[in-house]
């Protein structure tokens, strides 16, 4: 399947339609031309076993305004994220991998006013983002939840997650802040991680909030920090999870199921918490 674009998705489900596709090989050569798109109102896509590649700006493998369920997808995006979610959308991706060359592996935001309800589920997924200074997961102008299980994120910038008061520029080649739109609000993200290895930093900027739940079988090797703008990262570490610090870290609320705090390895770095609680 081939799309030359611009503005032409390979498969688009919209108007409460549902599309199902299996064993797809797809290439997109144009701008704003995603491979799979679940659009409003109520469009849903179910994808199984696909190989997808895009080379245009604003051309992710998955563009979600409605719903997408995908399994067994190999995705390569030269100038785009693997996944873009806009609004109160839903995406579940299993048994898949991606290499992304721009913005982030996954972008979750609102193109208009900030709304609640975006839900991202990743299970048995490997994400690689090669763009300099860009994270694995990026959240802006949204209230969202993300569940990561058996996930590995490789970010050349060593930033795993960024939450920011920003949105995606209309050109889809960069992020822009409140100077571009007065409606842009900080991101609020609940991030649940189980059985996953995260190597890199967790970052909240411009008043954004990240609630990080490190669950059974998970390791975060990195630091946690903000830009001192009332942004906050709250961390809860359950038994069977570990945080291995690579630099000084500042958190809002720190909760640990281990009273001895043996699940936090500071490696000599300072850890500052506004609120400490041992469960």
Q: Where would I find the beta strands (DSSP E) of 65-133? A: 67-77, 83-86, 90-100, 106-109, 116-129
Q: Listing from the earlier edge strand, what are the strands of the sheet with 137-140? A: 11-13, 36-38, 62-64, 83-86, 106-109, 137-140, 159-164, 201-204, 224-226
- Least confident among 1-5, 82-86, 251-255: 1-5
209-245: pLDDT as tens digits: 999 999 999 999 999 999 978 999 999 999 999 999 9
Integer Cα distance of 51 and 72 in angstroms? 9
Residue whose token pair is 């969202």? 144
Other CB atoms closer than 10 Å to residue 216's CB: what's the count? 11
Integer Cα distance of 275 and 66 in angstroms? 38
Comparing CA positions, the residue from 250, 243, 245 lying closest to residue 273 is: 250
Integer Cα distance of 37 and 77 in angstroms? 15
14-41: pLDDT as tens digits: 888 999 999 999 999 999 999 999 887 7
Token digits for 166? 């920003």
Say whether pLDDT at 279 is over 70.
Answer: no
Contact 219, 241 (CB under 8 A): yes
127-185: pLDDT as tens digits: 999 988 899 999 999 999 999 999 999 999 999 999 999 999 999 999 999 888 888 99
In Å, how far from its chain's centre is CA 275? 27
Phi (first) and psi of residue 156, to 5 degrees: -60, -25
Comparing CA positions, the residue from 63, 56, 42, 55 lying closest to residue 111 is: 63
Token digits for 215? 């669950």
């Amino acid at each position: 399947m081939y799309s030359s674009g611009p503005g032409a998705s390979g498969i688009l489900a919209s108007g409460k339609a549902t599309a199902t596709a299996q064993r797809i090989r797809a290439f997109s050569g144009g701008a704003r031309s995603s491979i799979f798109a679940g659009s409003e109102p109520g469009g849903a896509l179910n994808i199984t076993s696909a190989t997808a590649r895009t080379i245009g700006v604003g051309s992710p493998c998955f563009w979600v305004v409605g719903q997408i369920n995908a399994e067994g997808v190999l995705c390569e995006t030269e100038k785009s994220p693997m996944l873009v979610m806009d609004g109160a959308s839903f995406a579940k991706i299993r048994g898949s991998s991606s290499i992304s060359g721009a913005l982030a592996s996954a972008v979750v935001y609102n193109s208009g006013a900030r709304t609640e309800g975006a839900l991202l589920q990743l299970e048995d997924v490997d994400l690689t983002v090669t763009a300099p200074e860009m994270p694995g997961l990026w959240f802006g102008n949204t209230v969202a939840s993300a569940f990561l299980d058996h996930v590995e994120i490789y970010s050349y910038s060593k930033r795993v997650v960024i939450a920011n008061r920003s949105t995606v520029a209309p050109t889809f080649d960069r992020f822009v802040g409140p100077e571009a739109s007065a409606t842009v609000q900080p991101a609020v993200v609940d991030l649940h991680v189980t059985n996953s290895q995260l190597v890199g930093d967790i970052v909240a900027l411009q008043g954004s909030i990240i609630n990080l739940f490190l669950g059974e079988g998970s390791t975060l090797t990195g630091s946690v920090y903000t830009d001192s703008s009332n942004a906050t990262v709250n961390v809860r570490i359950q038994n069977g999870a570990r945080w291995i610090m690579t630099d000084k870290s500042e958190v809002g609320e720190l909760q640990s199921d281990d009273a001895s705090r043996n699940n936090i390895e500071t490696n000599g770095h300072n850890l500052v918490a506004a609120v400490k609680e041992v469960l």
